[in-house]
Chain A
């Protein structure tokens, strides 16, 4: 089971965080700090797996963003790498050539996509199409409601 997923920039600024187990604020901060220092210190062309305490850390860099997740002992690292990749693909499909700014400004969408994709630390839906479909559906509902609400009421 995946324990957490972090997105941070090359400068170590956190862009998105998702915790699949309850943790205290202090622990979270410690994990974020450790992850950024550890991952950012890695040289290019080294392997994408790390150890941190009893967790396995899998990270991957896409452009200026680092995607980093913590796994339990028995999880498959390569698979986690593919999970990260699939998430990037989903973001890319939704935003169309996704970049860091998209995630900064539309972070709630990024969270929704993540919620559709992963649930409770496990992959819930692998199909790109169906995730896109459900996100689209909820967006649509939201927009019509928005229009409806913003219409002058007379």
Chain B
């Protein structure tokens, strides 16, 4: 096995694919001995595998290996899993482990800085570690952090300086020496950190002058590594707040670099000069002869660096010669990346000093050399500069004439090798300005442009540039023939843009007035106004609509409809496995209310869309055996409302089963269906409660019992069955709301219907009674009342949990105390009243007990409890748009529209607003956007559109279950309305 692994590894090194071995490598690494581990690891060192087990090992080498693997390429989402283990290793007795752990953390920091935020303190500990190696590795992290935020680490400057002084003074063990230089890596790291800390900060810089001076002095041995240190020193000295004495020394150092016969040092010297001339241009003067020498160096890299330096010291006097040198280099160079870079620089220089003939010449060379590699904004910048012109009219004119002349000359020659961008620029200039030149026959220009148009190897973009130039030139009757000819030849072109332009050319050349209006000369320099709303097309659109055309639907709407259709087809797949279906429908997009309905509905989908029939579906069909009953009632409904085809299935189900819809449907059938639905629901319901609420053990049996009760209810009484089954489904929903949401928001009351509990407490004679007793008396009163009101409300609204209010005794009434209940959580308080809440799990219901505590002497007279989970979220349309895009959990549904008078959308939304405390952000035409948010929770956005007789609602929220809940309550609110 090991042998094979090694061979596979070798294959991979040679560049062959050997992915299939990885899994074996992991297996080997997990079970094998150390040797096998090593082999296995080295294979997936390259892969993103990880090695959790070994981190816990006691074997030193195994831990080392694991840390090495961890610090390799590591997947971001694995970090939380492994972080604690690595963190723990920071206090390992062996320094090598600590060191590796610090480096692994550094790697994590690079990958995901926010995940290691909490261990910054440990980094400090690592910095103070007694082993210099560990301290050294922690510097990597510090360098990175200081780079991002220098201000917050200023306090460490002193310690960094001390460390550097010790290092330079040779206080470290000899192990750290490299060619008898003390810890060069450490020094360089520190120098970098110091230069970051000292930038533009005099007080910090003053701390480090001495040590920098010492480093400069010490690093005088003639070895590469000392030069590396010197280079960093010089950079640091020039970065921090300047000090004349040090600057002088640094300048001398640079001189040594530049004058060095060693080519690598020369290179670095030039780099340092480039860095330095920004601060002090005189330094370049001292070394001008060397620079000139370097310019003619045989090594392209040195040349390139020199040009870089020259680029920094360009001014109005030397720009011509520097640009010339750069262009010379460009001609020699064949590396794309360098060309792009240099072309950009040349153009930048040239644009600084435009309006000379030199500018045109330079840009011509730039275009022909840089070709199609250059940044796309270069040509347009050039054309803009060119069109804007200079102050002096005459100079401007001459410049343009020169350009036209030169371009004509270019076109007369062989232009097949020229880059497309250059040709485009030429066409534009000729089209715009060739008329300035009286002595040139326009026919000649046109002939050349035509030649360009017909040339092979010219891209269609260039063609269209040339054609628009021709369009500009072809004015007057003389050119009609030519235009016709061109239009004819291009009318069969594959490119639609070209065809359109040819057509325009043809029309414009016939009508000179129109030509003058469309293409005025000279071209106006102010920007054209563009009507982005295309309002001038409104007439056309209304005509087309009147003629029976389909109205335009914006893409998102089309997509929405498409996805709704897709949702329809999703159902049958889910049904083939009832258990998975129930869980998946809940987790992804359906309201839990319709669990029961959606399942039987999905059977309906199968009936109508028989292309989607699956084996599993058939089985369900046969087993339940109710389909023959359902089919006749449901198919006519689908026929009745063709617009419902795109409705999401559960909505249809809702319409069919629970909502008393104005649909032509015999009540008898409805009842039967209710019965079926509830009988089906029993099985599903228990499965659901198992799968979803398995976490809260109390909840599970409650659900079961509930479901069974209703089974019996629905089977015994036919007259009551309909209301009962809807009741059961609803109460489950509410419990679901609890199960789902309360886990996220433990203190938030979820019920959003509106309850008022009026209780009058009569304690007129309370002055004699102690305050506590008084309140307890109150409590029983209120409790008694509220139970009554709860009964009321369970009659009117089938809500399964009552609301009890209670004065503050910080414990539950005795009747509730035996029941399992949650802790009493204080919700809010002020000097007069504090409110706490507690959940009590009764067998048949979840009680939400509110404890009101009145510390003052006054009596509680009227307690109005208003429970709401959402509150209006105040947004404007723009914020809404942003928020909408940032949220991902989607739910789409169709709701019933209220039809009572006026604008149905507005009426519906207002109804929702009144009953559910939503905020209507905006209503535009047939669309409306609404927002709300959970108390202390995430927002929920709602997008509504009138769609036939229904309201298509699209909800988004960061909390996965919130849209479902809200949707359910919307439905209920509309139903009640």
Contacts and interface: CB of A to CB of B under 8 A. Distances in A.
Interface string B5-18: 01001100111000
Contacts of B65: 138
A126 interface: yes
B943 interface: no
Contact of B231 (A43, A46, A78, A112): A78
A49 B61 contact: no
6 contacts: A1-B110, A14-B15, A22-B73, A43-B298, A76-B232, A125-B133
A82 B224 contact: yes
B302 A47 contact: yes
Contact of A79 (B99, B110, B184, B301): B184
B224 A112 contact: no
A138 B137 CA distance: 22
Contacts of B301: 46-47, 49-51
Interface of A: 1, 14, 16-17, 19-22, 29, 43, 45-53, 74, 76-79, 81-82, 85-86, 107-108, 111-112, 115, 119-120, 122-127, 129-130, 134, 137-138, 141-142, 145-146, 149
Interface string B867-902: 000000000000000000000000000000000000
A123 B33 contact: no
Given A46-B299, A112-B42, 11 more contacts: A19-B46, A29-B15, A47-B301, A49-B264, A51-B337, A74-B192, A78-B268, A119-B68, A120-B106, A149-B33, A149-B35
B224 A78 contact: yes
A130 B35 CA distance: 21
A78 B945 CA distance: 66
B140 A122 contact: yes
Interface string B338-368: 1000000000000000000000000000000
A138 B61 CA distance: 6
Contacts of B178: 82, 86, 126
Given A134-B64, A149-B33, A122 B103 contact: yes
Nearest to B133: A125
B183 interface: yes
B264 A51 contact: no
Contact of A107 (B13, B73, B185, B263): B13
A117 to B, nearest CB: 11
Contacts of A22: 48, 73
Nearest to A25: B17
A125 B263 contact: no
Contacts of B266: 47
Interface string B100-133: 1001101100100000000000000000000001
A108 B99 contact: no
A134 to B, nearest CB: 7
Closest 6 CB pairs of A and B: A78-B228, A127-B175, A47-B263, A120-B107, A46-B299, A120-B71
B225 interface: yes
Contacts of B338: 51
B176 interface: yes
B35 A125 contact: no
B232 A47 contact: no
A49 B72 CA distance: 26
Contacts of B238: none
B446 interface: no
B228 A76 contact: yes
A149 B1 CA distance: 14
A78 B227 contact: yes
B38 interface: yes
Given A22-B48, A142-B34, A51 B304 contact: yes
Contact of A120 (B96, B104, B185, B227): B104
Contacts of A122: 103, 106, 137, 140
B106 A137 contact: no
Contact of A145 (B9, B33, B228, B304): B33
B812 interface: no
Secondary structure of the A side of the interface? mixed
A138 B64 CA distance: 10
A16, A126, A130 interface centre (most CB from chain B within 10 Å): A126
A16 B42 CA distance: 12
Contacts of B604: none
B99 A52 contact: no
Interface in B25-84: 33-35, 38-39, 42, 45-46, 48, 61, 64-65, 68, 71-73
Given A14-B15, A119-B68, A81 B264 contact: yes
Interface string B284-312: 00000000000000110110100000000
B737 interface: no
Given A22-B48, A107-B13, A145-B33, A76 B73 contact: no
A33 B228 CA distance: 29
A127 B176 contact: yes
B973 interface: no
Contacts of A17: 13
A143 to B, nearest CB: 8
B713 interface: no
B968 interface: no
A39 to B, nearest CB: 12
Contacts of B68: 115, 119
A3 B301 CA distance: 21
B507 to A, nearest CB: 49
Pick from A1, A14, A124, A125 the residue with the most CB of B within 10 Å: A124
B147 to A, nearest CB: 9
Nearest to A80: B228
A130 B131 CA distance: 13
B188 interface: yes
A112 B175 contact: no
B71 A119 contact: yes
A123 B185 CA distance: 8
B228 A19 contact: no
Contacts of B703: none
Nearest to B59: A141
Nearest to B232: A76
Interface in B122-165: 133, 137, 140
A86 B224 CA distance: 12
B175 A129 contact: yes
B428 interface: no
Contact of A137 (B61, B188, B267, B268): B61
A14 B15 CA distance: 9
A119 B175 contact: no
Contact of B13 (A14, A47, A134, A146): A14
A108 B65 CA distance: 14
A122 B10 CA distance: 26
B15 A46 contact: no
B33 to A, nearest CB: 5
A14 B11 CA distance: 12
Contacts of A53: 337
B350 to A, nearest CB: 23
Contacts of A19: 46, 73
Given A46-B263, A107-B13, A108-B6, A145 B99 contact: no
Contact of B137 (A1, A14, A124): A124
A109 to B, nearest CB: 10
B711 to A, nearest CB: 57
Given A76-B188, A108-B42, A124-B103, A82 B228 contact: yes
B64 A82 contact: no
A111 B13 contact: no
A52 B61 CA distance: 38
